[in-house]
Amino acid sequence: MGAGRFAPSPSGPLHIGNLRTAILAWLFARSTGRDFYLRIEDLDRVRAGAEAVQLDELEQLGLDFDGGLIRQSDRLPVYLEIANELKARGLVYECFCSRKDIAEAASAPHAAPGAYPGTCRNLSDEQRAQKSLERPAALRLRAEVNEFSVHDELFGSYTGMVDDFVLIRNDGAPAYNLAVVVDDAASGIDQVVRGDDLLSSAPRQAYLAQLLGYEIPSYAHVPLALNEKGQRLAKRDGAVTLEEITEQGVHPAEVRSFLLESLGLPGENLQAALKAFNPSSLPREPWVVKPENIVQQLMPPASNNR
């Protein structure tokens, strides 16, 4: 059997929506006899000290991981090597477009919403040489399909757009879609559980995995935690991190119970939840959180000692 993973970006403390997804990833992996890995996706948005805080939060919830900690920043040469392999196969080209260029092209009539319009796909050698004097190039995949289908545990069959997405940014850093695919394959990860805001990325990543001869993982894109306005939960919404909640006298075990019960699972402990876990019974709708009520809900009566 393969492995699952949780892969946070060390940009700050994990809020309860992130922690809920981490618990779900653990449940999916353990319920299928898979190993469970932790990967720190630190190619972007790194905040000093955030990694240590996140590791502590996950430990307080009782989540356990197999193998050593994986950091993307330790693997930069690997991503560049894979990009060069694709380039040697004629599947990569230089792109000199700015974000403004892409936005303007995307707003043109008949442009596919959200897709890179292929502006730099067929530049001549002379055009590339001229543009390289103006700005450094990103490297894009020369996709040979317009869409790709994946199977998702919660959504079923999902077909999404595949465009010429970036593999290496113009600052030389590997892009998310490349790093994720390469890391999952290198770690033997064949089960990807993450927030459903990333569902539209799955066809691109699965297509790239196929190009590289990797096994396409199974996917489960789980509902996000939202505030009452229907926006993604964030620190601006109030006491939404484990630290903020426990500072007000709530034990981490109570937070874990709260998260498990929001999934329709018994809140006693992780093993009880694992025994009851059934993906087909998971909520399909977003989890709407009222941060101002969290601590009030979590503070147990004095007579109730879980």
Q: Would the CATH topology of 3-68+223-298 be identical to that of 74-222?
A: yes
Domain coordinates of the chain in residue numbers? Answer: 3-68+223-298, 74-222
The response to whether 95 counts as a known ligand-binding position is: yes
The residue-averaged pLDDT of 52-59 equals 96
Domain 74-222 has CATH 3.40.50.620: yes
Considering only 113-117, 130-134, 282-286, which range has the smallest mean pLDDT? Answer: 113-117
The response to whether 116 counts as a known ligand-binding position is: yes
pLDDT of residue 103: 80
Mean pLDDT for the chain overall: 91
The response to whether 187 counts as a known ligand-binding position is: no
CATH of segment(s) 3-68+223-298: 3.40.50.620
- pLDDT tens for each residue of 15-29: 999 999 999 999 999
Considering only 72-76, 153-157, 223-227, which range has the smallest mean pLDDT? Answer: 223-227
The response to whether 97 counts as a known ligand-binding position is: yes
Q: What is the 3-state secondary structure (H, E, C) of the chain?
A: CCEEEECCCCCCCCEHHHHHHHHHHHHHHHHCCCEEEEEECCCCCCCCCHHHHHHHHHHHCCCCCCCCCEEHHHHHHHHHHHHHHHHHCCCEEEECCCHHHHHHHHCCCCCCCCCCCCCCCCCCHHHHHHHHCCCCCEEEECCCCCEEEEEECCCEEEEEECCCCEEECCCCCECHHHHHHHHHHHCCECEEEEEHHHHHHHHHHHHHHHHCCCCCCEEEEECCEECCCCCECCHHHCCCEHHHHHCCCCCHHHHHHHHHHHCCCCCCCHHHHHHHCCHHHCCCCCEECCHHHHHHHHCCCCCCCC
Considering only 43-47, 129-133, 140-144, 184-188, which range has the smallest mean pLDDT? Answer: 43-47
The response to whether 41 counts as a known ligand-binding position is: yes
51 pLDDT tier (thresholds 50, 70, 90)? very high
- pLDDT tens for each residue of 92-122: 999 999 888 888 776 665 567 778 999 999 9
The residue-averaged pLDDT of 189-212 equals 97
